[in-house]
Structure 1
Amino acid sequence: MRFIHTSDWQLGKPFGRAPEEARAALQEARLGAIDTLARAAQANDAPLVLVAGDVFDSAEPGDRVYRQALSRMRQAANVTWVLLPGNHDPLRADGLWTRLKAETPPNVIAAIAAEPIAIGETAVLLPAPLTHKRSLSDPTAWFDTAETAPGALRIGLAHGSVQAFGSDPDTNLIAPDRARRAGLAYLALGDWHGRLRIDERTHYSGTPEPDDFGREATGLALLVELTSAGAPPQVTDLAIGRHHWIEADWSLAAASDLDALLAGLAPERALQDVVARLHVSGLVSLGDKVAVRRWLEDALAHELRWLDLDLGGLVTRPTDTDLAEIDAFGDLRAAAERLNAMAAEGGAEGRLASAALERLYVEHHRAQRPGEA
């Protein structure tokens, strides 16, 4: 049998730091991943999609997100979707999952009970729904003693950590050898947002739509093929995500250095699908810093989905040419030299003086060349 393993959709994720337009696009892309997963299931003759927890970002995702999710899954009528409560959307009495269980389309299964679910005639799914955000017990422990028909392919579906991933190292922990202990043909895990192989039968798929910087191998789902309970599964990565998240440190000696860096930013991606966090540093002339800022903030930022820009490490060393462009001999030249001296002293006042000198340079150019403002 073939199926797709995915997890951590976190529909409704707010992306609070992003600008409004980027937030809306990133949220919509998470819903769009459902459609991409449906197409992948159809193209690979894998009509079963297992979602290993965190379908929603919270237990109250809002009516639009909730309805959009069910509607998109309903439209893929030849695909069966199995949804598991995770730590972001745990199972609670009279909550999200009670509503979802009552309103699921015929092709959607809400796996809200720790009991076997027959999958066709040859496989049985063992789900481990989370009932709390944090639990000290292993939600998959019951797999070991679960009774299934002889020869049936036993597939585990769970959400939690087989190792300490973050700030909650002792919660929702899953035994790393659970697949062996419980005689599983495959254990589909969620919680870790990047692709991760624990052993040949135990895998994290990661989130299908990237959602943060610093994730390795994300934006994927897994195509899993099982031939028999004894044979290892064949697991293939499927590219699902639309957006590409990049974090980079750029060091500049001159504005012209930007050309090569920009060319290598995302050569195989459409810029409108790139989210970038750039830390720019270096020692440049005042004119070059203004040119760099203008190009990044007024051009690149509008081409990308979202640019999170840090210019704090880009330090200016104004040249005589920079100061002369403000004023050759007059009062403005004196003010510029005074600000330059204060900036060289460093500290909080020095940073303010450097910003003021840059502003003076920009405003002078704006006054002299109004068409470039």
Structure 2
Amino acid sequence: MRFIHTADWQLGMTRHFLDGEAQPRFSQARLDAVGTIGQLAVDEGCEFVIASGDVFESNQIDRQVLTRALDAMAATPEVTFYLLPGNHDPLNAASIFRSNTFRERRPPNVVVLEDSVPIQVAEGVELVAAPWMSRRPLQDLVDQACAAAAPSAALRIMVGHGALDSRSPDAMDPALISLQRLEVRIQSGDIHYVALGDRHSTTDEGTTGRVWYSGAPEPTDYREEDTGNVLVVDLEPGQIEVAPRSVGRWCFRQHPSHLTSDADIDSLEQWLDALDDKQRAVIKLSLVGSLSLCQKQRLDRLLDHFADLLAALETWERRSDLVVVPDDAEISTLGLSGFASDALGDLRELAQSPDPAEAVRAQNATALLHRLVNSAS
């Protein structure tokens, strides 16, 4: 049998660095991904879709997001969507899954995995789920669900959400999922596939080839290594095949740029210009080097231009060290005298300060002074 494993839709997510109309486009892309997943399931002959937690960004999302999400799943009625509550949308008293809107608008092909009782999803195939009932569980929910399930001859898919103990630096976290216990259960034939959510990068965990994070269908952060995917899983007795399918349209990229000349600025411009689908690209630049005042002005104009084209353009402050050093020719062309000349001299001296923050402020002030004088002339 074949099904789709996905997770971490986080519908209703907002990003602080998305301004103006970029945020609505980002939100719409996440809703569009739901429809894409449903259609992919139809095209691939999948019997159902498993969403392993964090379907929604929180339990307090806008009603419009919820109704549009349900409508997107209803568009493929032949595909059943099994939704697991995760840490963002736990099944507590305020759960979005228990809201009046969800209950009234939920289409027949949407099923919430509310407990760990095995659910038959096809002949000889069962789901065992580990829903989050609160934001801070005090035990390994996946292990607890596995232990509570009575033995069965069916192929069993474990649906869970959270961090594996093999990846977490916090060994004392009681909610960590034990990878070793999962692999023991796989080897004994108690479970046959583990569909996990929480990690946004598509990842094959352990040694069995049967424990997977699907990753998020749309990226959310620069640190995600392989995102924008869902997994198409073929599961049969004694064999399994897991194949990632790309569905995401947005990208998050970090780019280091060493700038000491006009040619370096040319290279940065060429890199930015070559980006595909700029309206869906979020870029963070690390700018290091030394530029003259004129070169810094050119860089500023360049960044302003691409900030208008891209969904977001950020400077990675912690990894940027760009020094602005006016040359003598630039200083002489300013033609300053009196107080303004004295201020420029002070700024040039402060630009060499051992205090990095003070030096950057002085360099920026010098560049601003240069720009103001030139604009006035």
The verdict on a shared fold, with TM-score over 0.5 as the criterion, is yes
2:306 maps to 1:300 = yes
SS of structure 2 residue aligned to 1:242: coil
Partner of 1:327: 335
Query: Matched residues in 1 for 2:124 and 2:156: separation?
Result: 9
> Pick from 219, 223, 235: which aligns with 1:210?
219
Change (3 A) 1:356 1:262: closer
Aligned length: 364
Query: Matched residues in 2 for 1:93 and 1:168: separation?
Result: 30
Structure 2: which 5+ runs fail to align? none
SS of structure 2 residue aligned to 1:344: coil
Partner of 2:281: 274
For structure 1, which segment, 194-203 or 338-347, has the greater mean C-alpha deviation from structure 2 after superposition? Answer: 338-347
Partner of 1:34: 34
Query: Matched residues in 2 for 1:46 and 1:349: separation?
Result: 60
Change (3 A) 1:219 1:351: same
Partner of 2:160: 158
> Percent identical across equivalent pairs?
33
Partner of 2:117: 115
Query: Matched residues in 2 for 1:254 and 1:166: separation?
Result: 43
5 Å-filtered alignment, 1:118-157, equals 118-140=120-142, 141-147=144-150, 149-150=152-153, 152-157=154-159
Give the AA of the match of 1:173.
Answer: L
Partner of 1:285: 292
Q: Are the aligned partners of 2:334 and 2:373 in contact in 1 as well (CA < 8 Å)?
A: yes
Change (3 A) 1:4 1:69: same
Change (3 A) 1:169 1:42: farther
Q: RMSD of the alignment, in Å?
A: 2.4
Give the AA of the match of 2:10.
Answer: Q
Give the AA of the match of 2:89.
Answer: D
Query: Matched residues in 1 for 2:265 and 2:363: separation?
Result: 22
For structure 1, which segment, 308-317 or 55-64, has the greater mean C-alpha deviation from structure 2 after superposition? Answer: 308-317
**CA shift for structure 1 position 167:** 6.7
Q: Are the aligned partners of 2:323 and 2:360 in contact in 1 as well (CA < 8 Å)?
A: no
Partner of 1:371: none
Give the AA of the match of 1:213.
Answer: Y
Partner of 1:318: 326
Partner of 1:8: 8
Change (3 A) 1:310 1:146: closer
2:174 maps to 1:189 = no
Query: Matched residues in 1 for 2:103 and 2:344: separation?
Result: 69
Q: Are the aligned partners of 2:59 and 2:94 in contact in 1 as well (CA < 8 Å)?
A: no
Query: Matched residues in 2 for 1:291 and 1:266: separation?
Result: 16
TM-score (norm 1): 0.90
Partner of 2:93: 93
Structure 1: which 5+ runs fail to align? 369-373
Query: Matched residues in 2 for 1:144 and 1:180: separation?
Result: 12
Partner of 1:360: 369
Q: Are the aligned partners of 1:86 and 1:129 in contact in 2 as well (CA < 8 Å)?
A: yes
**CA shift for structure 1 position 330:** 8.0
SS of structure 1 residue aligned to 2:222: coil
**CA shift for structure 1 position 239:** 0.7
SS of structure 2 residue aligned to 1:72: helix
Partner of 2:57: 57
Query: Matched residues in 1 for 2:352 and 2:333: separation?
Result: 20
Query: Matched residues in 2 for 1:155 and 1:247: separation?
Result: 36
**CA shift for structure 1 position 14:** 2.1
Change (3 A) 1:300 1:94: closer
**CA shift for structure 1 position 268:** 6.1
Query: Matched residues in 2 for 1:111 and 1:345: separation?
Result: 60
2:254 maps to 1:247 = yes
2:86 maps to 1:78 = no
